[in-house]
Structure 1
Amino acid sequence: MSKTRSGKTRLPGSLHLTSDLVAKTLRVVEEEGPEPNWTPISRDQLDQLVRRVEEEAGDEEIWVFAYGSLMWNPGFEVAASVDAVAFGWHRAFSLRIERLRATSDAPGLMLALQPGGSCSGLILKLPCATKKEDLRTLLAREIRYAEVCDMVRWVAVKTPMGTRRALTFWASPKQSLLTDKVPLDEAAQLIAQACGPAGSCAEYLHWTVLDLAERRIFDRNLWTLQKLVAERLQALPSRIDPR
């Protein structure tokens, strides 16, 4: 890894996990209901979570630290976006799933923040005019089950404007069976196999690494992971178009 004259990070070679390889993982998968052994968050619980975050924010603007899919698919109209680094945290495929982009027969992994290291990403500002509605939509998307309401928290991030406080979603140690650290080889196998109604885990990884590459952000673990997933997918036969 090196710097260009403009100060941007030069990435170490091209991506191995291509769109053609990702296509091997995509298939039609029917909805299976909620994650096994988890309780879907109720309307009242979601309202309580929204009120909690609003009370913690006070009169301040709400910024959200994006390190994965929120970077390329925020799901709300972003009022402002600023480069940011969260020190003391790193992104990792450590959130075990059996729904959305996986099934019980072929479980997968999604990104979460884990303690330690540093994580480069963005902070996204919620529009003032629709802040409450957008906050509720965001929390409903990221916190789907009552048992994981503690997986939303505030972190301090460094930006060109100085240190700011931002809301983010993390791997709480209270849910250790859900968020244990996963070795890269095991993570690659889970990601390569998993697909659900929302798409595949390989697709999610592809879009995330591609977005990071376009922003000249180098994440060593994700760069290694996309190569390992690509190697597994290269060994699979291409899917035949039924048309």
Structure 2
Amino acid sequence: MLIPFRDPNALLERTRADWPDHGDLWVFGYASLIWRPEFEAAEQRTALVRGWHRAFRMRSRVNRGSPEQPGLVFALVSGGMCRGRVFRIPRERADDELVRLWQREMPTGVYDPRWLPCQTPGGTVQALAFTLSRRSPSYTGRLDDAQLLHILRHAEGRYGTTLDYLLQTAHALRDCQVRDREIERLVALARGQGLA
């Protein structure tokens, strides 16, 4: 299935226009941004976002899979809550880093970028988060364990396998003292099949 192209530049301009106070840039990480942010943060904190949850339900046809064997990556989907990390980029570097972040996360405009209130030990901050609509063609919905195992066994893209992505995310969350029972279940499922 072809993913409809949405203009990343238009989405970037809208995100800039909605940027609270145009001060320091806060970014919410819930998966690979935690363990591979590709920017230097002046500060990072554990954070809780309400109304959204981390879900292993986004197809990856390039980074962690291929058109012939799509992989999976995590997405921030509406409902529930999500623990992750927020990163602060100082204002003087924020514009440049936002453009670099956009090139990484938004080359096809698949995400719906949003400024979300993130509760941290130092107070609430408005952070940029990359969310996914359940109406997106990239959203898989619930997959059964047999489908998940097939993907974990076979999907590989330019940044590596879906399995490696899952394991790195699980490791990073453990390091942050963030528990995610579904990720723990998926890792146990993979280990039970000798994949990890």
| Fold shared by both chains (TM-score > 0.5) | yes
Q: Secondary structure of 2:152's partner? A: helix
> Which residue type is aligned with residue 73 of structure 1?
R
Q: Which residue of 1 aligns with 2:56?
A: 93
Distance of 2:118 and 2:149 partners within structure 1:
29
Structure with the greater alpha carbon radius of gyration:
1
- Equivalent runs, 1:1-243 vs 2, <5 Å: 37-38=2-3, 45-57=7-19, 58-146=21-109, 148=110, 151-175=112-136, 177-183=137-143, 185=145, 186-232=147-193, 234=194
Distance of 2:159 and 2:195 partners within structure 1:
24
Distance of 2:13 and 2:95 partners within structure 1:
9
Could you state the TM-score of these two structures normalised by the residue count of structure 2? 0.89
Q: CA deviation at 1:40?
A: 6.3
Distance of 1:159 and 1:235 partners within structure 2:
35
Percent identical among aligned pairs is: 30
Q: CA RMSD in A?
A: 2.1
Q: Secondary structure of 2:49's partner? A: strand
Distance of 1:213 and 1:192 partners within structure 2:
23
Could you state the TM-score of these two structures normalised by the residue count of structure 1? 0.73
Distance of 1:126 and 1:46 partners within structure 2:
21
Distance of 2:189 and 2:173 partners within structure 1:
18
Structure with the largest fraction of strand? 2
- In the TM superposition, structure 1's runs of 4+ consecutive aligned residues that sit over 4 Å from their partners are none
Q: CA deviation at 1:39?
A: 6.2
Unaligned segments of structure 1, at least 5 residues:
1-35, 237-243
Unaligned segments of structure 2, at least 5 residues:
none
Contact 1:126 1:135 in 2 (8 A): no
